[in-house]
Amino acid sequence: MLRPIPKPSAVTVRSRVPRPGIQWRLAQPMCLLHTGRSSTRLTSTHPWAFVQPKRPSGMLSARASCRSIHIPPILLPPVVFTGLLVGLWIWYCVMMVVFQNKIIYMPGLPPNSRSERIADWTNMCGGVRWTEEKTVAADGTKLAMAVTTVPLPTGRRPTAAAAAAPETSAAAQVYVLYFQGNASSIPPRLPDLSWVLRAVSDSKTHTMAPVQLTFVCLSYRGYWTSRGRPSEPGLRLDAEAGVRWIAERHEHMFGKDGSTDPILLVWGQSIGSGVATNLAATGRVPPSMPIRGLLLETPFVSIRTMLETLYPQKWLPYKYLWPFLRNHFDSWANLGLVAHASKEKGVAAPMVYILEAERDELVPKEQSERLYKRCVDLGLPVEKGIVPAAYHQQAIARGDGKKLAAQAVLKLTQRALDGG
C-alpha cells in the first residue's frame, strides 16, 4: 500500500552578507508527486533566491500601500506644463498676500526718494519757502513734514519774506494737511503745490484778507526721512499726529482762547484720499480742530474695488484675494461714517471737493463718479472738477489742474468762514 510522501520542510539558510535584513532560502527541486489518493506539490525557486524579511504583524508593507499613476508618454508634457502653471499661480497669490504692503505703498521708489532734500527743489517753488519739521506718532514713530505759511490777500503773491514772518492778526488761520500718493516723496511735489498756493493768493474771485494759509505736507512712515514701515493702521496714526502738530502750533501762535479761528482742510492725493477719509471718519481729532473740508484728488472707492478694476480677468487670482487684504482705504464706507457722525452730533458736515483727471489711466473716472453720487445720496455738500487731458499723476501738474485745486481750497475755506 502506497502512502503519500510527506511534504519536505523548507530549509532556511542565513547568509552572512554585508546587507543586513536580507535572507536567502535554499529551495528544493520543483516537482509534483502523484499518488493514488492525493498529490504533493514541492515548490522550488532559484537555489539562492531572494526572500523579503518578515515584518511584524499589524504593519502594512510600504510597497503594498504605494499606488502608482500611469501617465502615457504623450500626455506627460502637458501635465508637467499644467502643474507648473498651477504652482506659479499659487506662488504668486501667496506673494501678493504676504508682500501687499510693499506692492501698495512702494516707499522706496524711485531709488533716491529717501534722500531728497527741500533745498534741491527750492528754485522751482516760485518764491514759496518750505521748511522741514518733525513730529512723532502715537506709537513713537518719527515723522517728517514740509511746512509753509503764506498770506491770502487778493492779488498778492506770497513771497519768502511773507512766509518767514506771517501776520498773526489774521481773523482766521487756514491749515491744509496734505497726504501724498504712493511712491516718491514730498520734496518733488513741492513745486506743483507751491504754484497752487500762488494761484490761491492771486485769485480775484474770493476776498479772503486777512486770512493766512499754512500748508503741511505729511510724509508717511517709511517715506522720505520718516521712520517705520507703511501700513494702513500706521498711516492712521501718522494722520492723527499731523493734526495734533497743527493744533499745538495753532495754540502756540494764538493761545488757547485766541481770536483767530482755525480752519482745517484735508487734501489727499490718490491713496492719500483714503488716508484723508479715514481721518475724517474714524480719526482721533482734537475737538478744537475739526475737519471742515476734504479735497480728494484722483480718489478711488477702495482697495478692493481697485483690485477688481485693474484685474477684471476671471482667470487672474488678484481680485479674489480681497478677503486677505490688510489695507482697505474704503472711502465709500468712510463717507457714510462722516455723514452719520455729523447728523448725530448736529454739526455741519465737511464739504467734499473731488478733483478728477480726465484721462486717468490708473483710477477710472467711474470711481470718482461713484464717490460723487455717494456724497449726494448721503447729503454731504460736494463739488467735482475735471482736469482736461490729464493723466493720474498730472492732476495738479497741468495749469488747469492747479487752477481747479486753488479754486477748491478757496471754496472750502469760504464755506468754512461762512459757517458751513
Q: Please write the tens of the pLDDT for every residue from 132-147.
A: 999 999 999 999 999 9
For residue 75, name the pLDDT band (cuts at 50, 70, 90).
Answer: confident
Distance CA 238, CA 301 (A): 21
Which residues neighbour 373 within 8 Å (Cβ) at sequence distance 6 or greater? none
Q: Under a CB-based contact definition with an 8 Å cutoff, are residues 197 and 286 in contact? A: no
Measured in whole angstroms, how far is the alpha carbon of residue 25 from the centre of its chain? 71
> In the chain, how many H helices and how many E strands?
11, 13
The cell for 251 is: 495754540
Strands, E assignment, 37-121: 39-42, 48-51
pLDDT at 228 over 70: yes
pLDDT at 34: 45
Specify the DSSP element, H or E, that contains 271: helix 271-282
| Dihedral sign computed on CA atoms, order 192, 194, 195, 199 | positive
Per-residue pLDDT, 148: 96
Closest among 413, 407, 48 to 204, alpha carbons compared? 407
329 Cβ contact list (under 8 Å, min separation 6): 232, 271, 273, 274, 275, 277, 278, 300, 302, 303
Q: Give 203 or 254, the one with higher predicted confidence.
A: 254
* Total number of domains constituting the chain: 1
Alpha helices in 99-227 (DSSP H): 100-105, 160-164, 190-202
Q: How far apart are CA 231 and CA 182, in angstroms?
A: 12
> Which residue segment(s) compose the domain that 317 sits in?
102-417
Percent of the chain beyond pLDDT 90?
58
Contact 358, 135 (CB under 8 A): no
CA distance 39 to 5: 9
Hey, is 14 helix, strand or coil?
coil
Kindly report the pTM of this predicted structure.
0.79
> How many Å apart are CA 65 and CA 54, to the nearest integer?
16
Asked if the model's pLDDT at residue 162 lies above 50, the reply is: no
Tens digits of residue pLDDT in 25-54: 444 444 444 444 444 444 444 444 444 555
Question: For residue 332, is it within any domain?
Answer: yes
Reduced to 3 states (helix: H, G, I; strand: E, B; else coil), residue 356 is strand
Type and span of the H or E element at 100: helix 100-105
The CATH number of the domain holding residue 235 is 3.40.50.1820
Strand ranges, E, within 236-285? 261-269
Q: Are 31 and 40 in contact (CB under 8 A)?
A: no
Q: How many residues are given for the chain?
A: 420
Q: What is the pLDDT of residue 377?
A: 98
Judge whether 26 lies within some domain. Answer: no
Question: Is residue 91 in a domain?
Answer: no
C-alpha span between 342 and 417 (Å, rounded): 18
Q: How far apart are CA 155 and CA 169, in angstroms?
A: 19
- Output the nine-digit C-alpha cell for 145: 513734514
With cut-offs at 50, 70 and 90, classify the pLDDT of residue 324: very high
Please state, in angstroms and rounded to a whole number, the distance separating the CA atoms of residues 314 and 13: 68
Nearest CA to 10 out of 32, 30, 34 is that of 30
- Considering the domain boundaries, does residue 55 fall inside one? no
pLDDT of residue 161: 42
The three-class DSSP label of residue 415 is helix
Q: What pLDDT is attached to residue 5? A: 52
Q: Across the beta sheet with 23-26, what order do the strands follow?
A: 11-13, 23-26, 48-51
Cell reading at 60: 502594512
Position 180 in a domain:
yes
Please report whether residue 203 resides in a domain: yes
Least confident segment among 16-25, 90-99, 120-129? 16-25
Determine, yes or no, domain membership for 87.
Answer: no
Q: Please check whether residue 11 lies inside any domain of the structure.
A: no
| pLDDT classification of 199: cutoffs 50, 70, 90 | confident
How do residues 257-275 score in pLDDT, each as one tens digit? 777 889 999 999 999 999 9
Residue in the structure block whose three cell numbers are 455723514: 339
**How remote is the C-alpha of 242 from its chain's centroid?**
20
